């Protein structure tokens, strides 16, 4: 320590510095030995010098032979090999699934290491590095539209073009040279050329030109600078140039619109436009929907493109303690595959999932689970889109029996249907009980009297109605029964919204308003647990008729306000103050406890025929 300058003594004693250096050397040695022989991954095979430091991996990475070196290590040591102090390499497909696969009930997903999965230069995490499960699911949902079976069919011609270019390049590469000998071609490099050109075309709207030139482009200066001696300012400048190049290419492609070509952005933009047009979305900030469904993996998942799903219409009933519903705090839990099992669910929802499984319908929509109940923004948008949800469902499962979500669907489970048919023989004739018709069966449960269920049955295209007596199927064309001997006293057609529009023209008032009156009169006879729901429970029907909820004025349509205000209650009662809702006395919503009728429906307007005006000669 004699060679140290005297100025060092001002801060530290020479012996102290010697101690610090010796301590650091000893600590480094202990850490290296611990990494090689003590920590849990030390029992895995691999080269000891690689276990001491990451410089071995860095060396092969800089040299460009990391993959080849890793492959040699696996050939020497097996499927699992230690490549660094805290780095293991796996080659078995089961291990890759455990590491990168979806989480399950018994296994959580592995968190992404921030050293390898950081944000991009604009501080935004892409799909691969996104640490948030909810945001990762949102991004994956957006991009899934560009990689669906439909997308691959649309992109077939584009991909074939580059396959032909690949074959032409292979022919050029392996053509005989001047000396008559064949020239070897690097197949891995050629496949890389094809992949980058295809993805460049799908992403930027134009290829990168690898197949045209037959050679790889030089590394961008930004990546060379990472391992070079460039200054930090140089790194930032080159990174910005590289990023801006990508931004310009993507912006250029987006400006071409959704119909320009069936690439990634074309399909994503089309899905966004369709979602906004149909109302099947719940988060305008991201430009895509937040609609969730219960999947056959027994968990909540983001709705895929054009899903085939069923919807459940049921009565919540009296709330029980610790009853499951989706809220912000348990959103990650209900998205775990296998979590939505019988013991965690009300009986009716569990039975509905069994119905979907037996009918091979992969998805189910249930308001209690598919709407985040304490997310006001999503809840409002989903309620406003009830006509889209139930109208898009393949069929609606109606829990028409019982008075709560714990009653179940009669007949789904063995012994759950208590009705037993009576058969007898009298004077040589076999007598069998005729089951009641659908109208009588529905009177036994609370479902037919609830306000929310009115729009659910009216907006659906097909209904599976589970009653205590039997199962009914109903659509706009027919009613089918489970038992052949059923009293048929009327022809049912719940769905007034999809009836023949030609019949509406017979009304003396405007067709839309005529349909609105019929629906409002039927809805006003129903009951609501919370009177503040009076507008929300009718919003889907209103939106289906008038399309624009902005013109929804306390239950009355702005377009036909002059006629809509001419209503009268069959049994008038004093309106009460309802917290969370405005119920003006001029709105029928203030008289939900009785029947309604409109003067406009009974009034026939007769126009007096005016005498023709005689022509006047100039």
pLDDT at 102: 61
High-pLDDT (> 70) share of the chain, %: 65
Continuous segment of H or E residues that includes residue 597: strand 596-598
The better pLDDT of the pair 519, 117 is held by: 519
Distance of CA 282 to the CA centre of its chain: 10
Q: pLDDT for 201-223, tens place per residue?
A: 887 777 878 787 766 654 444 44
Cβ atoms of residues 534 and 591 within 8 Å = no
**Token pair belonging to 486:** 């059923």
Whole-number Å distance between alpha carbons of 596 and 567: 7
CA dihedral 496→499→505→511, nearest 10 degrees, is 40
High-pLDDT (> 90) share of the chain, %: 5
**Token pair belonging to 227:** 């391992």
Q: Are strands 429-432 and 567-569 parallel, antiparallel or unpaired?
A: unpaired
Whole-number Å distance between alpha carbons of 478 and 310: 19
Q: DSSP letter string over 527-575?
A: B-SSGGGTTHHHHHHHHHHHS-GGGEETTEESTTHHHHT-EEESS----
Cβ atoms of residues 492 and 442 within 8 Å = no
Least confident of 37-51, 174-188, 415-429: 174-188
Q: pLDDT for 133-152, tens place per residue?
A: 767 777 777 777 677 777 77
Q: pLDDT for 46-82, tens place per residue?
A: 887 777 777 888 888 887 788 888 888 889 888 888 8
Return the sign of the alpha-carbon dihedral for residues 330, 335, 337, 341. Answer: positive
pLDDT at 366: 92
Whole-number Å distance between alpha carbons of 221 and 223: 5
Q: pLDDT for 353-363, tens place per residue?
A: 999 999 989 89
Least confident of 329-343, 419-433, 462-476: 419-433
Confidence of residue 397 (pLDDT cuts 50, 70, 90): very high
Q: Which of 279, 308, 297, 277 is nearest to 339 (CA)?
A: 297
Average pLDDT over residues 384-388: 80
Q: Which of 494, 501, 491 is nearest to 519 (CA)?
A: 494
Q: 139 CB contacts (<8 Å, ≥6 apart)?
A: 126, 127, 130
According to DSSP H, which parts of 290-437 are helical?
331-334, 347-358, 367-370, 376-384, 386-392
Cβ atoms of residues 40 and 82 within 8 Å = no
pLDDT at 483: 74
Confidence of residue 275 (pLDDT cuts 50, 70, 90): very low
Mean pLDDT, rounded, of the chain: 73
């Amino acid at each position: 320590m004699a060679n140290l300058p005297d100025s060092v003594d001002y801060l530290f004693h020479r012996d102290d510095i010697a101690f610090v250096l010796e301590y650091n050397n000893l600590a480094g040695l202990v850490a290296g030995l611990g990494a090689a022989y003590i920590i849990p991954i030390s029992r895995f095979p691999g080269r000891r010098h690689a276990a001491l430091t990451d410089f071995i991996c860095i060396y092969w990475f800089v040299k460009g032979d990391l993959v080849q070196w890793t492959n040699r290590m696996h050939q020497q040591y097996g499927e699992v090999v230690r490549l660094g102090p805290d780095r293991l390499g796996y080659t078995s497909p089961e291990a890759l699934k455990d590491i990168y696969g979806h989480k399950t009930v018994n296994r959580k997903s592995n968190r992404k290491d921030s050293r390898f999965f950081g944000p991009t230069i604009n501080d935004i995490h892409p799909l691969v590095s996104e640490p948030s499960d909810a945001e990762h699911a949102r991004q994956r949902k957006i991009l899934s539209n560009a990689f669906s079976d439909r997308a691959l069919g649309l992109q077939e011609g584009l991909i074939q073009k580059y396959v032909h270019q690949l074959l032409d390049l292979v022919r050029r590469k392996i053509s005989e040279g001047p000396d008559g000998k064949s020239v070897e071609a690097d197949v891995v490099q050629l496949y890389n050329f094809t992949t980058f050109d295809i993805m460049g075309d799908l992403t930027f709207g134009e290829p990168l030109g690898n197949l045209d030139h037959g050679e790889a482009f030089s590394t961008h200066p930004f990546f060379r600078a990472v391992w070079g001696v460039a200054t930090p300012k140089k790194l930032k400048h080159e990174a910005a140039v590289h990023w801006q190049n990508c931004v310009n290419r993507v912006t250029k492609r987006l400006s071409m619109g959704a119909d320009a070509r069936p690439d990634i952005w074309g399909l994503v933009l089309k899905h966004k436009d369709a979602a906004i047009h149909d109302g099947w979305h719940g988060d305008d900030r991201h430009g895509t929907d937040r609609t969730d469904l219960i999947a056959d993996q027994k968990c909540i998942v983001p709705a895929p493109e054009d899903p085939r799903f069923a919807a459940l219409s049921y009565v919540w009933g009296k709330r029980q303690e610790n009853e499951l519903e989706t809220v912000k705090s348990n959103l990650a839990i209900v998205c775990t595959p296998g979590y939505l099992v019988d013991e965690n669910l009300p009986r009716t929802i569990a039975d509905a999932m069994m119905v979907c499984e037996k009918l091979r319908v992969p998805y189910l929509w249930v308001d209690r689970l598919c709407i985040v109940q304490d997310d006001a923004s999503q809840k409002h948008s989903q309620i406003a889109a009830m006509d889209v949800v139930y109208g898009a469902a393949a069929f609606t499962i109606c829990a028409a029996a019982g008075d709560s979500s714990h009653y179940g669907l009669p007949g789904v489970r063995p012994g759950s249907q208590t009705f037993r048919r009576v058969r007898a023989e009298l004077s040589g004739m076999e007598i069998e009980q005729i089951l009641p018709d659908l109208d009588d069966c529905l009177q036994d449960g609370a479902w037919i009297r609830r306000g929310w269920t009115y729009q659910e049955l009216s907006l659906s295209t097909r209904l599976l109605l589970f009653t205590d007596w039997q199962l009914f199927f109903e659509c706009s064309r027919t009613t089918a029964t489970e038992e052949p001997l059923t009293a048929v006293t009327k022809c049912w057609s719940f769905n007034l919204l999809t009836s023949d529009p030609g019949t509406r023209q017979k009304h003396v008032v405007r067709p839309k308003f005529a349909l609105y009156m019929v629906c409002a009169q039927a809805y006003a006879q129903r009951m609501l647990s919370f009177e503040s729901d009076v507008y929300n429970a009718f919003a889907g029907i209103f939106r289906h008729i008038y399309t624009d909820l902005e013109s929804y004025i306390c239950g009355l349509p702005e377009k036909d306000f002059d006629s809509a205000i001419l209503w009268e209650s069959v049994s008038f009662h004093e309106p009460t103050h309802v917290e969370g809702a405005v119920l003006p006395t001029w709105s029928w919503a203030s008289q939900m406890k009785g029947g309604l009728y409109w003067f406009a429906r009974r009034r026939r307007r007769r126009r007096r025929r005016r005498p023709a005006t005689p022509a006047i000669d100039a």
